[in-house]
Amino acid sequence: MVLDELAETSGYSVPQFSRLFTEFTGITPMRYVNVVRIQNSTAMLSETNKSITEIAFACGFDTLEVFERSFKKYFGISASEYRSGCQHTPTPFYLSEQIYYERLRNMAIDGGNNFDWGRTAELYAKSRNIYPQEFWEILHTLGVGQAKQEILDIGTGTGILPMNMVHYGGDYTGVDLSSEMIEQAKALVPDISFICADAHNLPLENGSFDVVTALQCWVYFDKEKLLPELHRVLKKDGSLYIMFLTWLPDEDEIIRKSFELVKRYNPNWSGFMKRIDRLDFHWLSKDFSVETVMKKDFRLPFSKESWCDRMVASRGIGATLTEDKIYEFRAELRGILNAENEDFTVLHEGVIIKLKRN
């Protein structure tokens, strides 16, 4: 067996090797081997005339069916579509973001460091309402905030989404696991109903909502538990909206320098920051289907102080470090920003995904 060979090469027993490999990478050895096999198949599809069946067996798959299913899972297209010219990035989404998601779900992210969003709730409320008006207008155009609409915002944090969308229309309920975040939300948006609860086990009746929204929090949920629960509380033909506003250190100098500083203070921090070139829906269940995907770049305005607040309010700093280290980080970040103009913009990618309840 492949697993036996890998364990023997590493000098560990099979159980030890499997445990250590999974702890380090966030993925089991055999699932990783499967990804490598898929990667190897792309070169053969592009560079040889071998049949897809021959390639499947040459890459170590037991059946053509398993190969086809695995290939489409990782690339979103079939092997034959890939060969005919629909190639995408050669590295599957699975090797980057999905590992990140699994490490989050298993609490193995950031090297196992504990983080507590409650510690940064007050600063989060002050600094994280950075979404441009155009973002909310697009969300409204896609169907959120209609008259008499019942809307549930999961992972609501300090109530940023209800705060910005309530004037469009609809009745909002915000849910978050952090009591500190909920207290901040109640103070900021007192006319909205906020509940401290686990989104995986909602204290809400079946078919209560027309819309569920999830802003910047999707990675923290166990999708296998969450999706059936959201299906339960949504009305027939209800919709689920998943939203991200992603900072891009590869394309923005201020973000790059800021992230390098975060990594010095918290070397285990593993915040995921990249463009969503290929959306992967490996977690999608029979309960929902993708209807719309919107992606748009935004240059968001900051001052030096507001950018410091935004960075300190992140998981890698404010939710993790001690007060003295947070103070040192802020002072050093101010020094890095001294070369910048007092006001500047920072590049982000906005993404809104609309799913329909089946």
pLDDT tens for each residue of 342-353: 899 999 999 999
Given a contact cutoff of 8 angstroms between Cβ atoms, the answer to whether 160 and 128 are in contact is yes
Given a contact cutoff of 8 angstroms between Cβ atoms, the answer to whether 238 and 210 are in contact is yes
**Interatomic CA distance for residues 113 and 107, integer angstroms:** 9
Is the model's pLDDT at 232 over the cut of 70? yes
Structural domains of the chain in order of their starting residue, each with its CATH number: 2-95 (1.10.10.60), 110-357 (3.40.50.150)
Angle between helices 304-312 and 253-265 (to 10 degrees): 40
Backbone angles phi, psi at 72, to 5 degrees: -65, -30
Q: Which of 7-11, 18-22, 34-38, 296-300 has the lowest mean pLDDT?
A: 18-22
Q: What angle do CA 25, 26, 29 make, to 5 degrees?
A: 70
Given a contact cutoff of 8 angstroms between Cβ atoms, the answer to whether 140 and 116 are in contact is no
**3-class secondary-structure state, position 234:** strand
* 216 or 85, higher pLDDT: 216
The total number of residues shown for the chain amounts to 358
Among residues 142, 28, 113, which one has the least CA distance to residue 321? Answer: 113
> What CA dihedral angle connects 274, 115, 227 and 88, to 10 degrees?
20
The reported pLDDT for the residue numbered 273 is: 59
Q: Identify the H or E element spanning 191.
A: none
Query: What residues form DSSP beta bridges with 241?
Result: 213, 354
Backbone angles phi, psi at 244, to 5 degrees: -135, 150
Q: Which of 62-76, 135-149, 298-312 has the lowest mean pLDDT?
A: 62-76
First to last CA, the chain: 40
Q: DSSP labels for 242-300?
A: EEEEEE-TTT-HHHHHHHHHHHHH-TT--------SS---TT--TTEEEEEEEEEEEEE
Task: From residue 44, give the alpha-carbon distance in Å to each of 36, 70, 83, 91, 268.
Answer: 13, 16, 9, 15, 37
pLDDT tens for each residue of 62-117: 899 888 888 877 666 788 888 887 544 444 444 444 444 444 444 444 555 566 66
* 194 or 123, higher pLDDT: 194
Among residues 217, 146, 212, 171, which one has the least CA distance to residue 357? Answer: 212
**Interatomic CA distance for residues 151 and 146, integer angstroms:** 9
